[in-house]
């Protein structure tokens, strides 16, 4: 099964997922099928389990080894082990090869069902119990044909296994000593609590004030309130918020739809929008451009993000960071 060639119009709040499953064996020997999903935009291809070479210094038992895929060495992660489950033995196991954050990985699963086209409004954020039980690796829940499909935070999984490619607060760039930093109010939208916390600290280290939203709808609601308050107090909206930084994949409303709304609003369109996402790549950059994003940066590059925030605000609002 290869990557889908179906193209989705940007800004419609639609996306596609590959639904896969893991046949789990319980402690009593009972079998249970867990259904999961991953954004099609992250999937390069789906293949049969290849011959692998073990990695003697693997950080985690779920790292089964690596294999050669057209002259590219790809690590193989047993997703069931990472999830703390036991996968039933099968001769028809599949490997989902992914690429995001400019890194290629692969995940061993029992099988793949099909591709679903969905609206982000169909995705429910995980409740507190589910989030705690899954240690934050579930970003959304979808109900399809009496099945519950859990959307996995693949970035979180890969970052846990390889901390060197994760979002690091140490990458944040503090202002030059003695420099005068104008007040900069950043609205940051991301559905990952871990990323919200880390990036907020990073942006604050750079001298910015940060307000957060856990999805695009919450960010849009905040922007509408800023717009109303600006009108009531007869001041420009940039006195209340200077720039929007948003993830792309979020329940209820995604970053592309959020950007499109901002850029089509006669008042809010003055705000620069930076998309900060693992989905930023050469192949997908056109999606952000089509909805009017001012810049697009691939996670986890906090240093570049803070530099681009300053550059955009200097260009669009005349702020001086020297």
- pLDDT, position 134: 65
Give Cα separations from 119 to 7, 116, 163, 191 (angstroms): 14, 10, 32, 16
Residue 264 has φ and ψ, to the nearest 5°, of: -95, -10
Q: Give the CATH superfamily of 167-317.
A: Response regulator (3.40.50.2300)
pLDDT at residue 241 tops 90: yes
Tell which wins on pLDDT, 319 or 212.
212
- pLDDT, position 165: 58
The answer to whether domain 14-164 and domain 167-317 are alike in fold is no
Query: Structure tokens of 231?
Result: 């009108």
167 by Cβ neighbours in 10 Å (0-12 / 13-18 / 19+) ranks as buried
For the chain, give every domain's residue range: 14-164, 167-317
Compute how many other C-beta atoms are within 10 angstroms of the C-beta atom of residue 6.
Answer: 9
3 state SS of 272: coil
pLDDT at residue 257 tops 60: yes
pLDDT at residue 6 tops 50: no
**Per-residue confidence band for 157, with pLDDT thresholds at 50, 70 and 90:** confident
Q: Which fold has domain 14-164?
A: OB fold (Dihydrolipoamide Acetyltransferase, E2P) (2.40.50)
Whether 149 contacts 35, CB under 8 Å: yes
Q: Give me the DSSP letters along 155-215.
A: HHHHHHH-GGGS--GGG--PPPTTPPPPP-EEEEE-S-HHHHHHHHHHHHHTT-EEEEESS
Tell which wins on pLDDT, 85 or 171.
85
């Amino acid at each position: 099964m290869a990557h889908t060639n179906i193209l989705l119009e940007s800004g419609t709040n639609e996306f596609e997922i590959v639904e896969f499953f893991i046949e789990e064996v319980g402690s009593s020997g009972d079998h249970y099928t867990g259904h999961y999903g991953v954004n099609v935009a992250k999937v390069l291809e789906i293949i049969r389990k290849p011959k692998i070479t073990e990695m003697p210094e693997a950080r985690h038992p779920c790292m089964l080894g690596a294999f050669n895929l057209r002259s590219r060495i790809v690590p193989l992660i047993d997703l069931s082990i990472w999830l703390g489950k036991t996968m039933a033995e099968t001769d028809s196991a599949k490997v989902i090869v992914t690429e995001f954050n400019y890194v290629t990985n692969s995940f061993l699963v029992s099988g793949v069902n099909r591709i679903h086209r969905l609206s982000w409004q169909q995705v429910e954020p995980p409740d507190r119990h589910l989030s705690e039980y899954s240690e934050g690796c579930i970003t959304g829940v979808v109900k399809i044909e009496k099945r519950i499909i859990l959307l996995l935070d693949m970035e979180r999984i890969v970052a846990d296994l390889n901390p060197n490619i994760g979002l690091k607060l140490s990458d944040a760039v503090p202002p030059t000593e003695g420099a005068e930093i104008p007040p900069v109010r950043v609205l940051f939208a991301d559905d990952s609590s871990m990323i919200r916390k880390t990036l907020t600290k990073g942006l604050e280290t750079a001298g910015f004030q940060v307000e957060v939203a856990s999805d695009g709808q919450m960010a849009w609601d905040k922007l509408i309130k800023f717009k109303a308050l600006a009108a009531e107090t007869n001041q420009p909206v940039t006195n209340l918020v200077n720039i929007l930084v948003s993830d792309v994949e979020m329940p209820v409303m995604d970053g592309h739809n959020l950007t499109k709304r901002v850029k089509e609003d006669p008042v809010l369109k003055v705000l620069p929008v930076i998309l900060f996402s693992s989905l930023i790549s050469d192949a997908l950059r056109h999606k952000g451009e089509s909805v009017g994003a001012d810049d697009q940066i691939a996670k986890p590059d906090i240093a570049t993000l803070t530099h681009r925030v300053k550059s955009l605000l200097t260009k669009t609002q005349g702020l001086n960071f020297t």
